Amino acid sequence: MRHIDVHKLADAARFNRFHAGLLFWCAIIIIFDGYDLAVVGIALPSIMKGMGVTATGAGFMVSSALFGMMFGAVIMGSIADRIGRPRAIAICIALFSVFTAAAGMAQDPITFSVTRFLAGLGIGGVMPNVVAQMTEFSPRRIRGTMVTLMFSGYSVGGMLAALMGKSLIETYGWQSVFLAASIPVLIIPAVLRWMPESLPFLIQRNRLDTLRAVLQKMEPSYRAQATDRFALPQAEKGTSAPLSMLFRDGRGFSTVMLWIAFFMCLFMVYALSSWLTKLMAGAGYSLGSALTFVLVLNFGAMAGAIGGGWLADKFNIKHVLVGMYALAAVSITLLGFRMPTEALFFVVALAGASTIGTQIVTYAYAGQFYPATVRGTGIGWASGVGRSGAILAPIVIGVLVSLSLPLQQNFLAMAVPAVIAVLAVLLIDHKRSASVIDSELSETEPSLSLRAQQLGS
């Protein structure tokens, strides 16, 4: 009889078709998610003109989706730990696809806000689940890179929204870019068929045949035997109150600091995503040029996410995050100053890399910080609490825009949260991270070598 540690098996696995397939589907989902999120910022000037709303009113309209995302992140992250991640992800896709399209048929601000709130449940809910999925199944040595590479699809979605916005809005009106968001419902059957279930979820429900099949795909050298026994670490066996596990084993203070970092990062991300186009248009750029800034922002975000993930695999991820937040404070502040166009594009790219890119690396850190059994819950709550920052950002910046303040002050208001995030990340006790604890255990305990087991069996 062999005792199989599924987490160590996942950690030591070599990248193969299983991991590539998982990365593909999760990235596709995030691309659609990023499109649905960015589309409002792209269409905001046209929506304000078409519906006759003020900057403050537009801020509340944008925040309706973010308010839904806060609930979606908390609810769907927790539900996934109970009903399984593939089902939870499918529900989220249906929500953000159907109701983003419905927003395109809205005729007034209230209807628009209600449909965007419902879409937000799916947009916010899918993020913690795909992060948890990639964190669990990725080989340890490339885990940060895998998660951030997947999440770079968020930036691809933003660029797709900007490119479609430049052509569709002028030709067919702002409604067209929302109606296009119904396409993702077509991938739901494929997600349910190909997305693997969480390993602890399968063990807890005694679905061992499915578990063995997943393990063989994940690590082809594994040869299933009827006598194999699968066990979870003692710390992951309790499931009656998963939220309380976020505060166990000395993780409580660090959990709060992680929540603050999420709050500040998401404030910056949604302040830029919602108002960059409007601010640049107000600074004298044409709509086409302003949308180009969105493309550059998201291109920088993708580079920042991938680069940040690579650095996180090579160095301490906490120290990488501190540097990225510090860069955000500098780059966002510089956006408020006049400079040559080439230099401004470079600074916009840096802002994207150090805000949206940093958000993605922060998600990766949260995924590594919590044990696998409550990973969805941990990421979901961090993301959900952070959504309050995302909700406030469009409203706060909308109020500032309505006051006709100098451009520098608007961007300075977006930069202050980066300084607070630096302090919060510095205060996180990295030794309490599940990834650090697992690494220490693997060094002090006999390593579970699959091939050695096979030789001895």
74 burial type by CB count under 10 A (0-12 exposed, 13-18 middle, 19+ buried): buried
Token couple for 131: 């992060």
CA 405 to chain CA centroid, Å, is 32
Q: Name which of 157-166, 263-272, 430-439 the model is least confident about.
A: 430-439
Say what the pLDDT of residue 417 is.
92
Q: Is the pLDDT of residue 233 over 60?
A: no
CA angle, 116 then 120 then 125, to 5°: 165
Task: Work out the mean pLDDT of the chain and round it to a whole number.
Answer: 79
Q: Is the pLDDT of residue 330 over 70?
A: yes
Alpha-carbon span 357 to 321, nearest angstrom: 10
Percent of the chain with pLDDT over 70: 87
* 314-331 per-residue burial string, b: 16 or more CB within 10 A, e: under 16: eeebbebbbbbbbbbbeb
The answer for residues whose C-beta is within 8 angstroms of residue 333's C-beta and 6 or more apart is: 411, 412, 415
pLDDT in tens, 344-362: 888 889 988 888 888 888 8
Q: Is the pLDDT of residue 208 over 70?
A: yes
Token couple for 203: 């063990």
Q: Is the pLDDT of residue 188 over 90?
A: yes
Q: Is the pLDDT of residue 18 over 50?
A: yes
Say what the pLDDT of residue 284 is.
66
What pLDDT band is residue 437 in, cutting at 50, 70 and 90? Answer: low
Of 64-68, 135-139, 171-175, 260-264, the range with the highest mean pLDDT is 260-264
Closest CA to 127 of 202, 180, 77: 77
Q: Is the pLDDT of residue 454 over 50?
A: no
Q: Is the pLDDT of residue 89 over 80?
A: yes
Give, as one character, the DSSP assignment of residue 299.
H
Q: Is the pLDDT of residue 434 over 70?
A: no
Are 262 and 362 spatial neighbours (Cβ–Cβ below 8 Å)? yes
pLDDT in tens, 36-76: 877 877 777 777 777 877 777 777 787 788 788 878 877 88
User: Domain coordinates of the chain in residue numbers?
Assistant: 3-222+240-452
Alpha-carbon span 286 to 172, nearest angstrom: 19
Higher pLDDT, 16 or 128: 16
Say what the pLDDT of residue 419 is.
92
What pLDDT band is residue 231 in, cutting at 50, 70 and 90? Answer: low
Q: Is the pLDDT of residue 241 over 50?
A: no
Q: What share of the chain is helix, strand, coil (3-state, %, to 5)?
A: 80, 0, 20
Q: For 199-207, what is the mean pLDDT? A: 82
pLDDT in tens, 244-286: 777 777 778 888 999 999 999 988 888 887 777 777 766 666 5
Name the pTM for this structure. 0.71
Are 10 and 199 spatial neighbours (Cβ–Cβ below 8 Å)? yes
Q: Is the pLDDT of residue 206 over 70?
A: yes
Of 127-131, 155-159, 415-419, the range with the highest mean pLDDT is 415-419
Residue-wise DSSP of 399-442: HHHHTT--HHHHHHHHHHHHHHHHHHHHTS-GGG-HHHHHHHHH
Q: Is the pLDDT of residue 200 over 70?
A: yes
Higher pLDDT, 441 or 412: 412
Q: Name which of 143-157, 168-182, 292-306, 371-385 the model is least confident about.
A: 371-385
Q: What distances in angstroms separate CA 180 from CA 214, 273, 286, 408, one per listed residue?
A: 35, 19, 25, 35
CATH code reported for the domain at 3-222+240-452:
1.20.1250.20
Say what the pLDDT of residue 435 is.
57
Alpha-carbon span 438 to 297, nearest angstrom: 36
What pLDDT band is residue 93 in, cutting at 50, 70 and 90? Answer: very high
436 burial type by CB count under 10 A (0-12 exposed, 13-18 middle, 19+ buried): middle
